[in-house]
Amino acid sequence: MDKPIYKRILLKLSGEALLGKGSFGIDTDVLKFVAEEIGDVQALGVQIGIVIGGGNIFRGVEASTKGIDRVSADYIGMLATVMNSLALQNALENHGIPTRVQTAIEMREIAEPFIKRRATRHLEKGTVVIFGCGTGKPYFTTDTAASLRAMEIQAGAILKATKVDGIYDKDPAKEKDARIFDRITYTEVLTRDLKVMDSTAVSMCRDNNLPLIVFNIEKKGNIKGVVCGRAIGTIVVEDEK
């Protein structure tokens, strides 16, 4: 019988994970698949928080290089994360999974404001909580928001869902001899500049001894496998003494 090793997790989804084979927007088939995968984990009694990016709709950093003010671009990107959050909430609820969206910028007509204690109570009741709008501040990525929210809700680990099998020493899409790591330290990720998450997010995880697991979300059963402690993807842990 599958037995989870984490009581509570923070799942980090990129907006690009919802693209499917498209170049923009949300693929409803992918959305359904992700919802089913999350449902399998929730059925184990694991408490799930989710931070989702908005890159499938709008990328603030990219837009800022094309003439849009960086602060404005980042706020537009935050709104894109809310679109994805509401779409994922709908998909989860269609599978009978109670879900709440909380946002760092208040928009009470469609979501709750982020309040740590309220989020924790939802999680304790088995409700999935999706955190939108990143940190609510420009110049911070949703990776940093994931690290922050994970620590605020006292998650046992961050699960970063990607389109590759884990962390490689070089880009596997460009280099055929790229080597995947089973285990690596935070410091090595930073010194090698491996682009797993932004440096602020990685440093926050390191300073608070929060495990980070990077894995391929496109393979069925991977989220559940990671939660149950199977050797899937790459785990980033406290620097070995």
> Does residue 83 form part of some domain?
yes
- Number of separate domains in the chain: 1
> Does residue 104 form part of some domain?
yes
Secondary structure, 3-state, the chain? CCCCCCCEEEEEECHHHHCCCCCCCCCHHHHHHHHHHHHHHHCCCCEEEEEECCCCCCCHHHHHCCCCCHHHHHHHHHHHHHHHHHHHHHHHHHCCCCEEEEECCCCCCCCEECCHHHHHHHHHCCCEEEEECCCCCCCCCHHHHHHHHHHHCCCCEEEEEECCCCEECCCCCCCCCCCEECEEEHHHHHHHCCCCCCHHHHHHHHHCCCCEEEEECCCCCHHHHHHCCCCCCEEEECCCC
**Spatial distance between the Cα atoms of 70 and 176, rounded to a whole number of angstroms:** 36
Q: What is the pLDDT of residue 1?
A: 64
Q: What is the pLDDT of residue 67?
A: 81
Nearest CA to 17 out of 6, 31, 38 is that of 31
> Does residue 3 form part of some domain?
no
> Does residue 215 form part of some domain?
yes
> Does residue 2 form part of some domain?
no
CATH of the domain at 208: 3.40.1160.10
> Does residue 134 form part of some domain?
yes
> pLDDT tens digits, the chain, 241 residues: what are they?
689 999 999 999 999 889 888 888 999 999 999 999 999 999 999 999 999 999 999 876 677 777 889 999 999 999 999 999 999 999 999 999 999 999 999 999 999 999 999 999 999 999 999 999 999 999 999 999 999 999 999 999 999 999 899 999 988 888 889 999 999 999 999 999 998 899 999 999 999 999 999 999 999 999 999 999 999 999 999 876 5
Structural domain span for residue 223: 8-237
Phi-psi region of 125 (alpha: psi -120 to 50; beta: other; left: phi over 0): alpha
Q: Whole-prediction pTM value?
A: 0.94
Q: What is the pLDDT of residue 240?
A: 60
> Does residue 1 form part of some domain?
no
Q: Are 44 and 126 in contact (CB under 8 A)?
A: no
Over residues 143-158, the pLDDT tens digits come to 999 999 999 999 999 9
Over residues 196-218, the pLDDT tens digits come to 899 999 999 999 999 999 999 99
